[in-house]
Amino acid sequence: MSNYRIVHEVPGRLRLRIPALGEPGCEAGALEDWMDAAAPVQEVRANRSARTLIIRYRGGDDARAALLRRLERFSSEPIPGYSEDGVREAEVAPMITTLFTLAMLPLLTPPLRVVLTFANVGSTLAKGADTLVHEGIKVEVLDALAVGLAAANGKLFTANVTDLLLDFGEFLERRTQRQSDRLLRRLLRPDPAMAWVERDGELVQISGDEVRLGETVVVGVGETVPVDGHVLDGLALVNQASVTGEDVPVRKEAPARVIAGSVLVEGRLRLEATRVGEDTTTARVSRFIQASLAEQAATQRVADELADKRVYLTLGTGAVVYALTRDLARLQSVFLVDYSCALKLGTPVAFKSGMARAAEHGVLMKGGEAIEALAEVDTLVFDKTGTLTHSDLLVTDVVVLPAGCECSETELLAMVASVEEHASHPVAQAVVEAARERDLAHISHGEVDYMVAHGLQAEVDGGRIVVGSRHYLEEHMAIGFEAHQARIDALEAEGKTLLFVGNAEGAVGLIALRDTLREEAPAALARLRALGIERLIMITGDRREKAEALAAELGLDAVHAEMAPEDKAGVIESLQQAGRKVAFVGDGVNDGPALSVANLGIAMPRGADIARATADVVLMDDRLLAVADARELAAKTMRLIQHNFHAAVGVNTGVLAGAVLGWLSPVASAVLHNGSTIGILVNALKGVSLDAEPDAPVRAQMRAQVRALEQVIEAD
């Protein structure tokens, strides 16, 4: 769309006039949704009558330019099956027609009043007849009977007012549903990373979702990879933790594959984009959200079934009332009592609000079934690595190898840290931090020669020291570690990452690192118990002694140590056979089977593709307390649904009783019924909150994390 004009502009706000706005193929709702999905947008409003679009956004000139480029890419071609403006007009038009009819009735002769009334309520009567023929007795049939009986009995004003109230109630119900859907999409939308692309011999920066298939993308230090692609040239150390769960950055060079969402720690890469458009992470997230909105939980199915059954209750009650009283007005009042709307609409709106509120707290719920299952869980099983522990590495062992060098462990650590301080990857940072905590003095050395993704070397005390991976030292520097294999195997068996040190004489030493226990783990587990979790269990491949010590420290109910990855699912199944409702929390590739077997799978934010694709709940904020947040929100959402259910039944039963006893006119019955339905929907849309809500800055940060995280929904 290129036909637009900027009417007014201040920093962070644009007002544009779009002549085509409101014409076929350029619906206001579609344009709002299109622009609302852009990363910098905070708010967007389209005024169909004034043909204007107002955009509030974050950022400066680059963000403004990106928004205008996105507006130009909006297609004015009609979208098959989509016309939100048409839907809105279709909902508003009957109310306008009815108001016109009510205004004209006093001015017309009696015969014309009847004709105009039946013309006005004809759509309601036709809908009721169509529903009866194709779907059986539903609420539309009751509405048609109530309106038709009033019109046939000569109560034209009552018939038209009742029809107006029914249309108004339906309009508010649909608007509430759309608002909950839009809120959810807005909270969960992923923001594409910016991309540097080679075009026409120049390097230009564009939004990641504008990259075309086959284009060359350049990624530098500290930048996020915007697309999936293959390395054309360059060498870099890439942190894939947010995508694959690997804590240690990996070396990438041609023709290796690089995944969107990875971050370059060191080096520079030129990539060929192999996933763009509908194949991107952004598009898959959009499809996932649509699928989540369409999923129907067991609670919702039960509510639908009960609502349908209560239609028969209303119909039967009306038949009995008329048989006893022969009062058509009383019959109309009974038929206007509808349990269906509040029961059928309140439940999905509450689920969507719960999903949206969870997203504000860094938790992605995959539909109402996930909320329902999480609220029912009584046993939580944690995979230790990456869940009870986090990815910050900690130096655990400094090993001086025999015949290596005549130095102590402290001297070896100080020497390696002095060289590693020139690197920025997590292993180097952990070593430097360990030396800093021990107050070790810096050791002078010569110029550091760094080989990206391999290691480094430098002159120290007249000799050359080499630090890096075993592959680098053995294959490139011919420094062998075979004689120390037993010690290496022992450290690796404990789940530790090793840094190898050598010199011209051979192998010098080993520095072992491992992940650390999350500081919030004890508090998170205690809160989960307070929220009704009866058993907390840990699964790990660590040695039994080590695992049992950690379990005792955290107060866990059971621990399964020295577990092979394929055995995790068996533990879950045994708990289920004992009658437990089990949730599994994990993040690795080998956690996929356990996540799928459990009643509910919860994936940590740095989990691998398959873990997040299999899980029902994905944590977007790397904190264990988010598991407790998810449990609390799920339980409160289910309580809200139960409260709304009982309120709907109670209020409508009271209205039905008033109608049966003749205390309520048809208009009063319609007003009370629609009022209770709207109240229940508003209460559902408002949703629930945690007992301890985060303050505004924290909430803003969480929302930013939600928007910025590119979730991989489908396994490659």
pLDDT digits (tens, 9 = 90+) for 625-654: 999 999 999 999 989 988 888 888 888 888
pLDDT mean across residues, the chain? 78
- Say which range, 28-42, 380-394, 433-447, 619-633, has the weakest mean pLDDT: 28-42
The pLDDT value given to residue 508: 92
Residues 602-613, mean pLDDT to the nearest whole number = 64
| DSSP-derived 3-state class of residue 401 | coil
Q: Residue 216: what pLDDT?
A: 94
Max mean pLDDT among 12-21, 85-94, 167-176, 352-361 falls in 12-21
As given in the structure block, the two tokens for residue 626 are 């988010």
At 714, which helix (H) or strand (E)?
none
Task: Give the DSSP H or E segment for 532.
Answer: none
Contacts of 548 (CB under 8 A, 6+ apart): 559, 561
CA dist 620 and 342 (Å) reads: 33
Is beta strand 13-17 parallel, antiparallel or unpaired with respect to 5-10?
antiparallel
Give the pLDDT score at 290. Answer: 54
Q: How far apart are the C-alpha atoms of 436 and 315, rounded to whole Å?
A: 79
What percentage of the chain reaches a pLDDT higher than 90?
Answer: 19
pLDDT digits (tens, 9 = 90+) for 514-538: 877 888 899 999 999 999 999 999 9
379/702 Cα distance (integer angstroms): 27
pLDDT of residue 222: 72
Cβ-count burial of 85 within 10 angstroms (0-12 exposed, 13-18 middle, 19+ buried)? Answer: buried
Domain architecture of the chain: domains with CATH: 5-82 (3.30.70.100), 111-184+287-352+635-707 (no CATH), 194-279 (2.70.150.10), 363-389+517-630 (3.40.50.1000), 391-516 (3.40.1110.10)
Find all residues with CB under 8 Å of 130, minimum gap 6, and list them: none
User: What mean pLDDT do residues 157-172 have?
Assistant: 76
Give the C-alpha separation, 391 to 298, whole Å: 37
Residue 67: pLDDT over 70: yes
Q: How many CB atoms lie within 10 A of CB 296?
A: 15
- Exposure on the CB side of residue 464, measured as CA atoms within 13 A: 12
Phi (first) and psi of residue 541, to 5 degrees: -90, 0
The model's pLDDT over 332-341, given as tens digits with 9 standing for 90+, comes to 777 777 666 6
Question: Catalytic residues, which ones?
Answer: 383
Q: Span 147-161, mean pLDDT?
A: 78
Residue 349 CB burial class (10 angstroms; 0-12, 13-18, ≥19): buried
Contact 418, 621 (CB under 8 A): no
CA–CA separation, 650 and 658 (whole Å): 12
Cα of first residue to Cα of last residue in the chain, in angstroms, is 34
Cα 698 to Cα 190, 360, 361, 693, 701: the distances in Å are: 19, 10, 9, 9, 5
- Mean pLDDT, residues 35-60 taken together: 80
CB 412 within 8 A of CB 509: yes
Distance from CA of residue 613 to its chain's centroid? 12
Tell me what the mean pLDDT of segment 587-597 comes to.
Answer: 71
> Distance between CA atoms of 150 and 114, rounded to whole angstroms?
11
Q: How far is CA 340 from CA 185, 306, 675, in A?
A: 27, 8, 14
CB 560 within 8 A of CB 360: no
Q: Say what the pLDDT of residue 701 is.
A: 41
Answer whether residue 80 shows pLDDT above 50.
no
| Three-state DSSP class for residue 124 | helix
| pLDDT, position 556 | 94
Model confidence at 598: pLDDT above 60: yes
Look at residue 219 and give its three-state secondary structure.
Answer: strand
Q: E strands of 355-415, at which residues?
A: 363-365, 379-383, 389-400
Alpha-carbon dihedral of residues 567, 572, 573, 574, nearest 10 degrees?
Answer: 90
pLDDT at 707: 39
Confidence of residue 87 (pLDDT cuts 50, 70, 90): very low
Cα separation, 434 vs 460, whole angstroms? 20
Share of the chain above pLDDT 70, in %: 78
Q: Are 346 and 648 contacting, i.e. CB atoms less than 8 angstroms apart?
A: yes
Closest CA relative to residue 419, chosen from 464, 471, 470, 452 = 464
Query: pLDDT confidence of 79, banded at 50, 70, 90?
Result: very low
Angle of helix 340-360 versus helix 156-188 axis, rounded to 10: 20
Joined tokens for residue 333: 């009042």
pLDDT value, residue 331: 80
Confidence of residue 324 (pLDDT cuts 50, 70, 90): confident
How many residues are there in the chain?
A: 716
Give the pLDDT confidence score for residue 705 in this predicted structure: 38
Q: What is the pLDDT of residue 578?
A: 94
pLDDT in tens, 413-431: 999 999 888 776 778 888 9
Name the 3-class secondary structure at 497. Answer: strand
Structure tokens at 154: 């000569």
Mean pLDDT within 79-96: 54
Q: pLDDT tier at 711 (50, 70, 90 boundaries)?
A: very low
Looking at per-residue pLDDT, the higher value among 487 and 166 belongs to: 487
Q: Coil, helix or strand for 15?
A: strand
| pLDDT band with cut points at 50, 70 and 90 for residue 294 | low
Rg (C-alpha) for the chain, rounded Å, is 32
Rounded average pLDDT over 209-227 = 85
**Cβ distance 605 to 620 under 8 Å?**
yes
CA distances 669 to 163, 167, 319, 557, 680, Å, are: 12, 15, 17, 56, 17
Nearest to 9 by CA among 52, 48, 69, 39: 52
pLDDT digits 0-9 by tens, 342-374: 666 677 778 878 887 887 777 878 778 888 899
What integer pLDDT is reported at residue 78 of this predicted model? 42
Cβ atoms of 540 and 560 within 8 Å: the answer is yes
712 pLDDT above the threshold of 60: no
pLDDT at 339: 67
- pLDDT classification of 495: cutoffs 50, 70, 90: low
Alpha helices by DSSP H, 578-624: 592-597, 609-614
Contact 362, 628 (CB under 8 A): no
Q: Are strands 389-400 and 449-451 parallel, antiparallel or unpaired?
A: unpaired
Q: What is the pLDDT of residues 222-272, one digit of tens each?
A: 777 888 889 999 998 887 655 444 556 788 888 888 877 777 878 899 999
DSSP 78: P
d(CA 163, CA 147): 7
Q: Which amino acid is at 562?
A: E
Residue 587 CA to residue 125 CA, distance in Å, equals 56
Which pLDDT belongs to residue 417? 92
CA dihedral sign of residues 114, 116, 119, 121: negative
Ramachandran category for residue 165: left, alpha or beta (phi over 0 → left; psi -120 to 50 → alpha): alpha
